[in-house]
Amino acid sequence: MFDRLADITNELRALGATEITKHEIVKTLLRPLDSSFDTLALMIQECPDFKTLDPSDILERLNTHEFQLSEKRDIYGPNYGRTRALKAKAVSSSEEESDCSSGDPEDIGKELATLVKKLQKLTKKKGFRKSSRSSLRNDEASTHDHKKRTCHKCKKPGHYISECPLWDNENNKKKKSKEYDSDD
């Protein structure tokens, strides 16, 4: 790939193209790489000296990465680093109905148990809320807590300092005094 790119670049330069820089060649080298090189390409592009890198340096990094991937595939097997998608099997509705009707009760029980376990894990992960009954209890508790509140300003129950009428009176007096001071 690099040899062909170098040949094309040399031919373009021979024809008089002066706009082809090493940076353009590096970008052209990184563009067609497959998904196994995505991380490496991103690291190279984020490098502070990306605009000054030589194409030969990039080619060396790409070859090293490819060699490391091939070694890992030799060690871990041919499917290393590849995505693993679930394989679906097409089943007609008549086959599906016959499977359900002829199912062994033990098999159905096992399937149901695994389904319940998966559902419980899902609800734990998602943090589902409890039923509305508990929210009603919380509402009652919040009104009860409202009665227990005591203001730190006037020491009376039923409100906090931000809702205190004495606080409002003091703020109004300060505002009025500022208005008189600014009129001078």
**pLDDT bucket at 160, cuts 50 / 70 / 90:** confident
d(CA 142, CA 38) in angstroms, rounded, equals: 53
**pLDDT bucket at 88, cuts 50 / 70 / 90:** low
pTM for this prediction:
0.40
Q: Is residue 179 part of a domain?
A: yes
Q: Is residue 26 part of a domain?
A: yes
Closest CA to 71 of 98, 63, 50, 132: 63
Q: Is residue 53 part of a domain?
A: yes
- Domain residues for the domain of 10 are 2-76
Mean pLDDT calculated for residue range 54-75:
87
Q: Is residue 123 part of a domain?
A: no
Residues in the chain: 184
Q: Is residue 83 part of a domain?
A: no
Predicted confidence (pLDDT) at residue 41 exceeds the cutoff of 70: yes
**pLDDT bucket at 32, cuts 50 / 70 / 90:** confident
What's the number of domains the chain is made of? 2
